[in-house]
Amino acid sequence: MNLDWSGLLHALGLVMVIEGLLPFAAPSQWRRMLFTVAQMEARSLRVLGFLSMAAGLALLHFS
């Protein structure tokens, strides 16, 4: 895998665009979701974080 700065910056930009979609399109629902996530137990957040990382790694590996 050959990763240069251009590819890394493109990936970071794409992440920022995707992360900004919900607050832009549905700010009220996004705020409620953040409130719900803020009240979750640390263990649940760790599981969600792990699953998110695993899915991302799988996408990177198999693409």
Question: Helix or strand or coil: residue 53?
Answer: helix
> pLDDT tens digit string along 9-56?
999 999 999 999 999 999 999 999 999 999 999 999 999 999 999 999
Please indicate, yes or no, if residue 15 is contained in any of the structural domains. Answer: no
User: Confidence band (pLDDT; 50, 70, 90) for 2?
Assistant: low
Please indicate, yes or no, if residue 3 is contained in any of the structural domains. Answer: no
Amino acid making up residue 35: F
Residue 3 has pLDDT above 70, yes or no: no
Q: How far apart are CA 29 and CA 10, in angstroms?
A: 28
Count structural domains, the chain: 1
Q: How far apart are CA 23 and CA 50, in angstroms?
A: 23
DSSP 1: -
Neighbours of 48 (CB within 10 A): 12
**Whole domain around residue 57: which residue ranges?**
23-63
Please indicate, yes or no, if residue 14 is contained in any of the structural domains. Answer: no
